[in-house]
């Protein structure tokens, strides 16, 4: 850290020479009426507010910079941080890519002042908006906050886990696989931009399936499909005057479905490449002639992909106009009392990056905005879908909605039905990024607007107190909402954002220990510490409650929990084998004892095989009678020790150590 502070001071001094001049701009965003939209219980996450983003292109104050420089020279870092924070809060859009090192320096000073969340917020801004090589910044940030993509279980492995768990009657994750919306909607050409009514019975989307003219020029139009039971009707183009001789696409509907906003491109009346238009549905069921939102909203560049706030008073859209943060940004416009739309304003540096942000979608019930980005810090593929919450009028750091939706290709045009049950979106495969099709998917936990309650925990070995490795899954037992599984971190920790008031089961699986299950009724943010015994593959496992009635081989109900855990382990690890050995004390007839121990081992084998629906020949069972005592039988306790069942779990060849140094083999 001292090296970073010294080098940052040199960078800061150099940056003083690069500032430009001040300019004037427009007003910042007005928050929506809180009564119009359901409120979420959220805490601010440390993201700063920048009041000048839509007022000034660039902020510069020579006197203020000199004061910061002097505080740094005196090593008065507290004063330097306060002054620099005041300066940075007045940034205009150009400051973010011209003065990136000031953001980085402020992050360092915030970290020095023991403000880690604020520090990471400024580091993130530096990484999102830099236009030079700052690999050192990236490496340092990654050392503070590991990328969450590294902890998600790959989908193939995740779905394999789900399949294994179908074989046993216990808690298991749901399996909601994304599904294509079918040939009635999708064509061989790109299909994208879904908009759905609140009752999810009518779908409007964009398609490039039609061509026109001698040279087969693509004619992009809006299409409509209606839900008919479990299926969708064959898509039909919207009639004139919505579709025209020009290209139309990327529509959104008002809450009552009577107003449509969409993009029209390359038209004679267009202000730029693509402009935003609106039309209303008349009593006769016909749409009015579309009207442009005008030059206050539309630029001389590309303006498209609108989404309307629940109150109908703010329209968000994507634009690649000059004066933004990156290649394309999310902008917004407010509806004035006159019915006109205000001058478009930028959503700011938390949502927008130096790269591309597109296809915004405002949730119909909550202050949650979804959008696609290739410039945020946690992408699984090319474009990923993110969500951002607005807290006290301020947009918070966007969250990736996870690998159940975001793959290695591109995902766009996220749309949710009114009940937040299903999402509709366009996606492409990695090998053909431009060929989009429409898909639907049960809304997973990471995309749920109400998933704002934080659960974190740590799993440790009960003997050594060392952190354990494994896969942690969350099963929603109330709603069946799918939650992407994660690997435990190196320190044994995990965390999830879940829905308060719901019931969950935490399930942690590993070859190193028997599965850990914990039921949870979520009441506010939760921190937990879990303990379990590691499996020592070098020693047999002896369970205290595996005891039979005198001279009998029937499985007792008291044995079920232990045997079920073993069955579950065998289900979750299909390449592992199990050896069961039955032993008796030395009392009685040796031949009878040998047969009794064999019968008991066989009874346990049959129970585990039936419980886990295991394939045959994965379990060996053998009875040794009294031939392998652990103790000389001097006391009744010695005889009790010798009356036992030993389990040995056999790893497949080439598997890892399995944690044999972590714990003993008896006393379970």
> Residue 8: its pLDDT value, please?
39
Pick the more confident residue, 620 or 4: 620
* pLDDT tier for residue 406 given thresholds of 50, 70 and 90: confident
- Please give the Cα distance from 574 to 157 (Å, whole number): 13
Name the DSSP class of 121.
H
| Lowest model confidence (mean pLDDT) among 117-126, 163-172, 362-371 | 163-172
Q: How many residues does the chain have?
A: 668
Mean of pLDDT values over 240-260: 92
pLDDT exceeds 60 at position 13: no
Q: What is the pLDDT of residues 260-293, one digit of tens each?
A: 999 999 888 898 999 999 999 998 989 999 999 9
- Please give the Cα distance from 278 to 132 (Å, whole number): 41
> Residue 76: its pLDDT value, please?
96
- Please give the Cα distance from 362 to 211 (Å, whole number): 32
* pLDDT tier for residue 380 given thresholds of 50, 70 and 90: confident
Mean of pLDDT values over 110-124: 91
> Residue 172: its pLDDT value, please?
53
β partners of residue 287: 281
Mean pLDDT across the chain: 85
> Residue 49: its pLDDT value, please?
87
> Residue 226: its pLDDT value, please?
92
> Residue 659: its pLDDT value, please?
36
* pLDDT tier for residue 45 given thresholds of 50, 70 and 90: confident
- Please give the Cα distance from 605 to 503 (Å, whole number): 34
> Residue 30: its pLDDT value, please?
38
Mean of pLDDT values over 132-157: 68
Burial category of 228 from C-beta neighbours within 10 Å (exposed 0-12, middle 13-18, buried 19 and up): exposed
Estimate the crossing angle of helix 100-112 against helix 77-88, to 10 degrees.
140
Mean of pLDDT values over 88-112: 94
- Residue 303's contacts (CB-CB under 8 Å, 6 or more residues apart) are 263, 272, 274, 275, 276, 297, 317, 318, 319, 321
- Residue 398's contacts (CB-CB under 8 Å, 6 or more residues apart) are 350, 351, 371, 373, 376, 386, 387, 388
Greatest mean pLDDT among 149-158, 412-421, 520-529 lies in: 520-529
| Lowest model confidence (mean pLDDT) among 91-105, 130-144, 425-439, 475-489 | 130-144
* pLDDT tier for residue 645 given thresholds of 50, 70 and 90: very high
pLDDT exceeds 90 at position 157: no
Mean of pLDDT values over 108-124: 91
pLDDT exceeds 90 at position 177: no
97: tokens are 């890519």
Mean of pLDDT values over 514-530: 91
> Residue 549: its pLDDT value, please?
85
> Residue 550: its pLDDT value, please?
83
- Residue 631's contacts (CB-CB under 8 Å, 6 or more residues apart) are 638, 641, 642
- Please give the Cα distance from 553 to 556 (Å, whole number): 9
| Lowest model confidence (mean pLDDT) among 28-32, 59-63, 348-352 | 28-32
Mean of pLDDT values over 167-189: 70
DSSP one-letter string for 259-270: EEEEEEES-TT-
Q: Which helix (H) or strand (E) holds 204?
A: strand 202-212
pLDDT exceeds 70 at position 62: yes
pLDDT exceeds 60 at position 82: yes
The three state secondary structure string of 481-519 is CCCCCEECCCCCEEEEEEECCCEEEEEEEECCEEEEEEE
Helix ranges (DSSP H) in 38-189 = 62-73, 77-88, 93-98, 100-112, 116-129, 135-144, 155-165
> Residue 25: its pLDDT value, please?
32
- Please give the Cα distance from 567 to 291 (Å, whole number): 66
Beta-strand relationship, 274-280 and 291-292: antiparallel
* pLDDT tier for residue 24 given thresholds of 50, 70 and 90: very low
């Amino acid at each position: 850290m001292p090296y970073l502070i010294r080098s940052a001071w040199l960078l800061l001094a150099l940056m003083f020479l690069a500032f430009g001049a001040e300019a004037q701009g427009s007003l910042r965003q007005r928050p929506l009426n809180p009564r119009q939209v359901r409120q979420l219980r959220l805490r601010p996450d440390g993201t700063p507010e920048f009041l000048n983003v839509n007022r000034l292109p660039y902020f510069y104050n020579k006197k203020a910079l000199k004061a910061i420089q002097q505080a740094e020279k005196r090593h008065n870092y507290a004063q330097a941080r306060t002054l620099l924070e005041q300066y940075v809060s007045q940034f205009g859009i150009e400051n973010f890519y011209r003065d990136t090192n000031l953001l980085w320096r402020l992050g360092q000073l915030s970290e020095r002042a023991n403000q880690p969340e604020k520090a990471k917020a400024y580091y993130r801004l530096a990484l999102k908006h830099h236009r030079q090589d700052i690999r050192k910044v990236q490496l340092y940030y990654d050392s503070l906050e590991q990328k969450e993509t590294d902890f998600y279980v790959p989908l193939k492995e995740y779905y394999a886990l789900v399949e294994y768990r179908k074989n046993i009657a216990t808690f298991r994750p749901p399996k909601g696989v994304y599904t294509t919306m079918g040939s009635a909607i999708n064509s061989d050409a790109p299909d994208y931009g879904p908009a759905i009514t609140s009752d999810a019975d009518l779908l409007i989307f964009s398609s490039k399936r039609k061509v026109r003219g001698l040279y087969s020029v693509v004619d992009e139009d809006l299409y409509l499909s209606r839900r008919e039971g479990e299926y969708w009707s064959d898509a039909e183009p919207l009639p004139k005057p919505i579709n025209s001789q020009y290209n139309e696409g990327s529509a959104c509907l008002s809450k009552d479905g009577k107003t449509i906003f969409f993009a029209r491109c390359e038209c004679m009346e267009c202000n730029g490449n693509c402009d935003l238009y609106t039309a209303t549905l008349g009593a006769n069921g016909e749409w009015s002639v579309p009207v442009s939102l005008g030059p206050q909203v539309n630029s001389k560049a590309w303006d498209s992909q609108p989404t309307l706030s629940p109150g109908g008073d703010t329209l968000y859209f994507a634009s690649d106009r000059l004066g933004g943060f990156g290649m394309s940004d999310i902008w917004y416009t407010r509806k004035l009392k006159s019915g006109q739309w205000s001058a478009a304003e930028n959503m700011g540096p938390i949502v927008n990056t130096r790269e591309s942000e597109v296809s915004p979608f405002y949730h119909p019930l909550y202050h949650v905005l979804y959008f696609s980005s290739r410039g945020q810090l946690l992408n699984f593929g090319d474009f990923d879908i993110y969500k951002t919450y607005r807290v006290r009028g301020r947009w918070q750091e966007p969250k990736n909605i996870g690998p159940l939706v975001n793959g290695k290709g591109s995902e766009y045009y996220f749309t949710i039905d009114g009940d937040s049950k299903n999402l509709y979106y366009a996606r492409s495969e990695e090998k053909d990024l431009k060929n989009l099709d429409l898909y639907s998917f049960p809304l997973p936990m990471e995309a749920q607007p109400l998933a704002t309650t934080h659960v974190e925990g740590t799993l440790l070995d009960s003997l050594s107190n060392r952190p354990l490795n494994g896969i942690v899954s969350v099963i929603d037992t109330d709603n069946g909402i799918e939650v992407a599984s994660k690997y435990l971190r190196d320190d044994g920790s995990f965390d999830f954002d879940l829905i308060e008031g719901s019931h969950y089961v935490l399930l942690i699986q590993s070859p190193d220990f028997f599965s850990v299950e914990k039921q949870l009724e979520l009441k506010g943010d939760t921190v937990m510490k879990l303990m379990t015994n590691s499996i020592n593959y070098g020693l047999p496992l002896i369970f205290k409650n595996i005891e039979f009635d005198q001279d009998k081989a029937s499985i007792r109900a008291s044995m079920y929990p232990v045997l079920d855990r073993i069955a579950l382990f065998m289900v979750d690890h299909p390449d592992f084998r199990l050896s069961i050995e039955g032993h008796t004390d030395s009392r009685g007839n040796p031949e009878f004892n040998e047969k009794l121990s064999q019968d008991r081992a066989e009874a346990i084998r049959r129970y585990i095989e039936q419980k886990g629906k295991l394939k045959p020949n994965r379990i060996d069972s053998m009875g040794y009678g009294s031939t392998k005592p652990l103790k000389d039988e001097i006391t009744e306790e010695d005889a009790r020790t010798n009356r036992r069942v030993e389990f040995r779990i056999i790893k497949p060849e080439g598997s890892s150590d399995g944690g044999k140094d972590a714990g003993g083999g008896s006393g379970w």
